[in-house]
């Protein structure tokens, strides 16, 4: 947007925008947000200006617009100079509390048939120009993506993951290869048992963001995977069970992981929301829930709310069920979808790992 004219006031600078809106930016805010090379490092984009050693008051000498570079320049009486782009000023025109990124609920799905365009792409397509962006956009849209026709090797699977970002380390290691015949499995995931819908890492402060799974050898019966859109359930509860929704946003549920020499514990609400009430993360693992006790009446209300969520995630009509066959690489958003697995007999070898959610968000920003 262009600027029609500016006006200096005692308290700040009035900017009259081409759409006839008006914004008043306080002088100190302008000084603090200067994008000049001295104030904001041109390469790292890190703030260099020392805003707080001196008094929080600056006297203005003059202000002018540069229509060619689309910048506003401010000369202060102490001879320093600030520069702010029209773009930054426009972006900051409307004051608001900074918010954590909400999950995009425009394409949330209550049943698999709600998924309009199935999030699947071939290995060749993934590796082509624009393939990574399409892969990311599928995860953003419906919470998961399948890459088909992939080589059934750990190396190829790792390659898919590393095209997005570095692989996260965790209590289970980084990129891992495992089967269901371990002598002493660390987790039910490494057995043949069924697992009900859950998100991973309710016992760590920063739960894994994306999870990638590839079954590279399969000689088994059963073991179907299920995915459920936790965001769709959250939105349903917001409208149909508002009291239960509030409880699930407010109670910090502890999760734990206990092994010899390891005792991980973290706590957060089942539905983590930002200041606008938008859902930013779903965390649910009934298997890993740690003991806690509220006042009796609150505990009853909590159990009622938790039961509603539990029963909705276990409603098979909500679940997208499929078999992880060799050559099909599944990646899903662990902050949004819940995953489950039926029990199996026979042998499976899998590989995969985690990404941090911020690296997923970063890629979405930089590839757009």
Q: Which residues bind Fe ion (CB under 5 A)?
A: 200
146 or 350: whose CB is closer to Fe ion? 350
In our burial notation (b when 16+ CB lie closer than 10 A, e otherwise), range 250-282 reads: ebebbbbbeeeeeebebbbbbbbbeeeeebbbb
Least Å distance between CB 178 and Fe ion?
12
Looking at the Cβ atoms of 15 and 145, the one nearer to Fe ion is 145
Q: Cβ closer to Fe ion: 13 or 330?
A: 330
Residue nearest to Fe ion (CB): 200
- Yes or no: say if 329 and 147 are a contact pair by the CB < 8 Å rule: yes
Least distance from Fe ion to the Cβ atom of residue 277, Å: 28
CB of 222 to Fe ion, least distance (A): 17
Give me the sign of the Cα torsion angle 228, 232, 236, 237.
positive
With respect to Fe ion, which residue has the nearer C-beta, 58 or 335? 335
Distance (Å, rounded) from C-alpha 135 to C-alpha 124?
Answer: 12
Least gap, CB of 132 to Fe ion (angstroms):
24
| Smallest distance from Fe ion to CB 339, Å | 6
Q: What are phi and psi of 12, to 5 degrees?
A: 170, -165
Please identify, using beta-carbon distances, which residue of 39 and 200 lies nearer to Fe ion.
200
What is the closest distance, in whole angstroms, from the C-beta atom of residue 228 to Fe ion in the complex? 12
Give the list of residues 6+ apart from residue 295 with CB closer than 8 angstroms, or none: none
CB of 319 to Fe ion, least distance (A): 15
User: What region, left, alpha or beta, does residue 346 occupy, with left being phi > 0 and alpha being psi -120 to 50 degrees?
Assistant: left
Q: What is the rounded CA–CA span in Å between residue 284 and residue 81?
A: 51
Give the Cα-Cα-Cα angle 326, 332, 194 (nearest 5 degrees): 65
Q: Which is nearer to Fe ion, 152 or 226 (CB)?
A: 226
Q: Are 219 and 329 in contact (CB under 8 A)?
A: no
Specify the residue, 200 or 333, whose C-beta has the smaller distance to Fe ion.
Answer: 200
Residue 249 or 324 having the CB closest to Fe ion = 324
- In 3D, which of 361, 353, 317 has the Cα closest to residue 140? 361
- Sort strands 120-122 and 144-148 into parallel, antiparallel or unpaired: parallel
**What is the nearest approach in angstroms of Fe ion to the Cβ of residue 213?**
9
C-beta closer to Fe ion: residue 34 or 199: 199
Identify which of residues 90 and 200 has a Cβ nearer to Fe ion in the complex.
Answer: 200
Cβ contacts of residue 194 below 8 Å, gap of 6+?
340, 341, 342, 343
CB-neighbour burial class of residue 31 (10 A; exposed 0-12, middle 13-18, buried 19+): buried
DSSP string, 99-167: -PPPP--TT--SSGGG-SS--EEEHHHHHSTTHHHHHHHHHHHHSEEEEES--SSHHHHHHHHHHHSPP
Closest distance to Fe ion from the beta carbon of 48 (Å): 44
- Least separation in angstroms between CB 258 and Fe ion: 17
C-alpha–C-alpha distance, residues 97 and 90, integer Å: 16
CB 219 within 8 A of CB 349: no
């Amino acid at each position: 947007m262009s600027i029609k004219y500016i006006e200096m006031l005692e308290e700040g600078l009035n900017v009259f925008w081409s759409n006839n809106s008006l914004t008043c930016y306080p002088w100190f805010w302008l000084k603090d947000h200067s994008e000049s090379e001295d104030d904001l490092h041109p390469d790292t984009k890190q703030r260099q200006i020392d805003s707080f050693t001196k008094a929080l008051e600056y006297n203005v000498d003059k202000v002018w617009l540069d229509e060619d570079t689309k910048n506003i320049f401010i000369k202060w009486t102490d001879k320093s100079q600030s520069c702010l782009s029209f773009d930054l000023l426009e972006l900051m025109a409307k004051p608001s509390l900074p918010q954590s990124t909400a999950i995009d609920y425009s394409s949330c799905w209550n049943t698999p048939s709600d998924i309009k365009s199935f999030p699947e792409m071939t290995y060749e397509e993934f590796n082509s120009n624009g393939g990574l962006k399409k892969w990311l956009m599928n995860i953003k849209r419906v919470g998961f993506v399948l890459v088909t026709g992939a080589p059934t090797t750990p190396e190829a699977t790792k390659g898919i993951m590393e095209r997005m970002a570095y692989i996260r380390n965790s209590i289970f290691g980084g990129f891992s290869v495992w089967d269901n015949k371990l002598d002493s499995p660390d987790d039910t995931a490494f057995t043949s048992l069924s697992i009900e819908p859950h998100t991973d890492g309710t016992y760590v402060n920063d739960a894994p963001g994306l999870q990638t799974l590839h079954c590279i050898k399969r000689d088994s019966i059963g073991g179907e995977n299920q995915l459920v859109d936790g965001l769709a359930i959250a939105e349903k509860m917001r409208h149909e069970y508002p009291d239960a929704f509030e409880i699930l946003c407010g109670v910090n549920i502890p999760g734990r992981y206990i092994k010899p020499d390891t005792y991980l514990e973290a706590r957060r609400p089942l539905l983590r929301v930002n200041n606008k009430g938008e859902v930013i993360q779903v965390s649910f693992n009934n298997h890993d829930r740690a003991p806690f006790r509220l006042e009796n009446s609150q505990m009853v209300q909590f159990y009622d709310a938790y039961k509603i969520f539990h029963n909705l995630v276990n409603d098979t009509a909500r679940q997208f069920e499929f078999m992880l066959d060799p050559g099909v690489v599944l990646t899903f958003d662990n902050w949004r979808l819940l995953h489950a697995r039926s029990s199996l007999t026979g042998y499976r070898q899998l590989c995969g790992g985690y990404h941090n959610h911020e690296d997923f968000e970063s890629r979405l920003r930089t590839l757009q």
